[in-house]
Every structure is written in structure tokens, then in C-alpha cells.
Structure 1
Amino acid sequence: MERHINLEEISDGKLYGLNDMVRADCGDCKGCFACCTGMGRSIVLDPLDIYNLTVNLRRNFQELLSGPLELNVVDGIILPNLKMCGPDERCAFLNQEGRCGIHKFRPGFCRIFPLGRLYENRSFSYFLQIHECRKENRSKVKVRKWIDTPDVRKNEQYIADWHYFLKDLQEMLKASCDEGAARRINMYLLNCFFVTPYREDEDFYPQFYERLAEAGKQTV
């Protein structure tokens, strides 16, 4: 989900790369789970998030939609997001002790928090959201270590490619004003990137790019 932001208001005014130090380490979030509540539909999931959830929870996408996930329209495109539950709007994966039940394979949005991504020139940089985390006196940590993502360079390229694929598609849908075509494209994208299972015994990224290439042909 793209936000129109003023970096001076929400960040420390700096942009970070993987090897930069940033004051993001909150000491394992001990005693705090504020960022796991009241998030509405903002924790939008990408295909890698769904791959990790289905593989590790041994549940397919449709089963997850009947429980901890839901679908929402994001700038004209239907995408899955984490569901908030109960009167205090807790993440569906937050356990009774206030700890993340999927921490080892948590979504990318959660993995980089309190960092955000600033997309520019078909790529992105990280920035520190200074108002989002309630923990005080956070310590410095290297961005690469903080986001703790395997094949991180490959992951960054994937994140950028997925983002700009959606952005280009959103612009195309806005220009077409064809509601029927928009519905068909949305159903195709859901099936292509989320509903159809990925092969667990193969690397995710080549499978994703196969689907991305095919989707590019189907949605032009």
C-alpha cells in the first residue's frame, strides 16, 4: 500500500541502505506489542509472505482467508492483509502472552518495522519511522541484521519488482475505467500469485518471476 508522506514529519530525515546503522533495535519488544494492535487493514501481504505462511502453517491460501487473513481493495487491486481481531484489534497471530506466533516467518512489513520503504526510480531505500514504535532508547543496529531476511539482495529486487508491477497495473486500471476488465484482472492476479500453490521444494523467487512474466502478458 502506497502512502503519500512528508519524510520530515515522520522520520529522522535520513535514508538508509542495508549496511547503514539505524536506531531501530527495541530489545526484542519485551513487554510491548503495541505495533501488533490497531493496524486495521494496513499490513498488506505480498506473494512471498503468503508462500511463507502456507508452507510453515501447512494451510493453503483459502484456509488462511477463513481465519487470520482477509482480502481488501488497495488502490484498485485486491490484496490480502493480516486480520485484526477483537475489541482491541489484535493481530490474529498474536498469542495470549502478547508475542508473535509466527515470528520466524513473519511478513516483510512486520520484519522491517519500525523502518519503512521509500520507493524511487524503480527501487527503494529504508527510512526510520520515529512515531510508530513506543519503545524508547532504541539502540543502533545494521539494517541488514535488523530485517533478518535470507538472500536479502534478491529479496530487495523482488520487493521493488512486485511494488512497481502493482503500481503500473494500478495506473493502467485507472486509465481504462473498465470495471469488468478490472474484476477479471483482479481475479487473475489472486489466482496467479496467491491461490495457486508454489512448489515447496524449489526456490520461491524463480517461481515468482515465471508468474510475473506470464502476468505481464495477461494484463497488458
Structure 2
Amino acid sequence: MKRHVDMADISDGRYYSGNDMVKAGCNGCGGCCKGMGQSIVLDPLDIFRMTSNLKCTFEMLLQDKVELGVVDGLIFPNLKMNGEDERCGFLNGENRCDIHGFRPGICRLFPLGRVYENHSFRYFLQIHECKNSPQVKVKVKKWLEEPDLPKQEAFICRWHYFLLDIQALLDQRADDELRKKVSMLILQSFYLEPFHADEDFYEAFEKRVAQTEKVMKNVWINGKNR
């Protein structure tokens, strides 16, 4: 999701790597799990972890926990907020996350963010997002609690820049019907078609990216030849 903001207004002015220490913390108030609208966008790894651990399908998640929304002109799933206080469907009565062990990447990251450049990214601390965070220094990679951070970071980069390339092609065509078709291609290839628990997610993901890039190349060539 693109954010057009001045980093000086939202960060502490520093960038971090996985091995750096950052002031972050959580007192369990549940504030970051309420009123988030459609901002908790889910990537393929998020859905894989949720469906694998909950023993359900993506379609089942869409019944009450997840919804579809438009992000930068394409359709993606996001966590659904419910009720008068607009709370995440996985937030229980004690303000605890029922899927904390396999929570989405954005939830793991908060209150950190990512700034992308040169086909990579760095972390930064969002200084206004969490009002109740105890200022405890913690190593970034410990805060993220990713079992294989290098692979996860490589996946994040691949997914981000893959989508940027697709959006750039679509912006050149300015074809709403084509944009809808590409959105459905992405939903089918990375969300509706399940990744299997007995396969390496990252390897399977890379194969699907390569397949989708071939399809997009054909779409682009055929479109230019019209």
C-alpha cells in the first residue's frame, strides 16, 4: 500500500535492519486491532499461515474474518473489522489475538513500518501509531518473531516489486477491464489456489510469480499489437 507522507512526520528519523535495536513494546490494550478499516492488507504468506493453522480455506475466511478491498487499483484481501468498535475478528474478549502465533505480517511489524528503495527495504519506527507502547528496546528480528527472517524479507521484497511492476504496466494501458482481469488473476494464483502445507511456501510462491509474469508478458505484448 502506497503512502504519500513525509518520513520526518511519522518516524523517529532512523532506519533499522533486523539486527538493530528499536524502542517498541506492547501492553496488550488491543488498540491496534480496532478501527483499522481496510488497512491490514494480507499477502499470500499471511493467508497460507492462517489457512494452514486454522485448517480452513481462503473462502471460509471470507465468510467473516477477511474481506476484499481495492489497494492501488488492484483487489486484495484484508482483515475485516466488525461491530460497533470495529474490532478484528480474531481479537477475543480479553483483547488478545487468537492467532498471535501466526498473525499477519503487518501485525507482527506494528508499530514498525517499511520503506522501500533500490529493490530492498529498511524498517522504521512509526512514532504516532501506538499511544500505549512501553518504550523498551528490543532487537527488530526478535520483535518480528519470524522463524526464517531472511527468507521472509526476500519474499516481502519479491511480492512488493512484483506488484509494482504489474501496476506500472496497467497504468500505461489505462484499461479498467484489463485491471479487473489482472486482479482476478492475482487472486486466483496467490489466494484462491491454496499453497499446500507439505510444500515449501517460498519455493511454491516463486514458481507462481514466474508463471504470472509470463502471463502478464503475453497480455502486454498482445495488448500492444492491437
TM-score by length of 1: 0.96
Partner of 1:66: 63
Alpha-carbon distance, 1:25 to partner: 2.2
Q: Gaps (5+ residues) in structure 2?
A: 218-226
TM-score by length of 2: 0.94
2:45 paired with 1:41:
no
Q: Gaps (5+ residues) in structure 1?
A: none
Spell out the pairing of 1:152-163 with structure 2 (5 A cutoff). Answer: 152-163=149-160
Please give the per-residue CA displacement for 1:112-151, whole angstroms capped at 9, x wherever unaligned. 1100000111110000001111225410000011101011
DSSP-derived class of the 1:164 partner: helix
CA distance, structure 2, for counterparts of residue 16 and residue 163 of structure 1: 19
Is the Cα–Cα contact under 8 Å of residues 65 and 89 in structure 2 kept in the other structure? Answer: yes
Partner of 2:123: 126
Partner of 1:94: 91
Partner of 2:144: 147
Is the Cα–Cα contact under 8 Å of residues 76 and 173 in structure 1 kept in the other structure? Answer: no
Is the Cα–Cα contact under 8 Å of residues 78 and 190 in structure 1 kept in the other structure? Answer: yes
2:213 paired with 1:216:
yes
2:82 paired with 1:85:
yes
The structure-2 alpha-carbon separation of the partners of 1:62 and 1:136, relative to structure 1 and needing over 3 Å to count, comes to closer
2:28 paired with 1:23:
no
Is the Cα–Cα contact under 8 Å of residues 20 and 142 in structure 1 kept in the other structure? Answer: yes
CA distance, structure 2, for counterparts of residue 130 and residue 180 of structure 1: 40
DSSP-derived class of the 2:206 partner: helix
Partner of 2:196: 199
The structure-2 alpha-carbon separation of the partners of 1:149 and 1:136, relative to structure 1 and needing over 3 Å to count, comes to closer
Match of 2:169 among 172, 176, 182: 172
Alpha-carbon distance, 1:180 to partner: 1.8
CA distance, structure 2, for counterparts of residue 5 and residue 203 of structure 1: 36
CA distance, structure 2, for counterparts of residue 174 and residue 25 of structure 1: 40
Please give the per-residue CA displacement for 1:85-122, whole angstroms capped at 9, x wherever unaligned. 01111011101111111000000000011000001111
Please give the per-residue CA displacement for 1:62-100, whole angstroms capped at 9, x wherever unaligned. 111111000001011100000000111101110111111
CA distance, structure 2, for counterparts of residue 46 and residue 197 of structure 1: 13
DSSP-derived class of the 1:72 partner: strand
Is the Cα–Cα contact under 8 Å of residues 14 and 124 in structure 2 kept in the other structure? Answer: yes
DSSP-derived class of the 2:180 partner: helix
Paired amino acid for 1:161: R
Please give the per-residue CA displacement for 1:165-192, whole angstroms capped at 9, x wherever unaligned. 1111112111111122111111111000
DSSP-derived class of the 1:8 partner: helix
Alpha-carbon distance, 1:11 to partner: 0.8
Stretches (4+) displaced over 4 A: none
Paired amino acid for 1:173: L
CA distance, structure 2, for counterparts of residue 167 and residue 87 of structure 1: 35
Paired amino acid for 1:81: N
Partner of 2:220: none
CA distance, structure 2, for counterparts of residue 4 and residue 94 of structure 1: 30
Please give the per-residue CA displacement for 1:180-213, whole angstroms capped at 9, x wherever unaligned. 2111111111000000011211111000000000
User: How many pairs are equivalent?
Assistant: 217
Paired amino acid for 2:184: M
DSSP-derived class of the 1:81 partner: strand
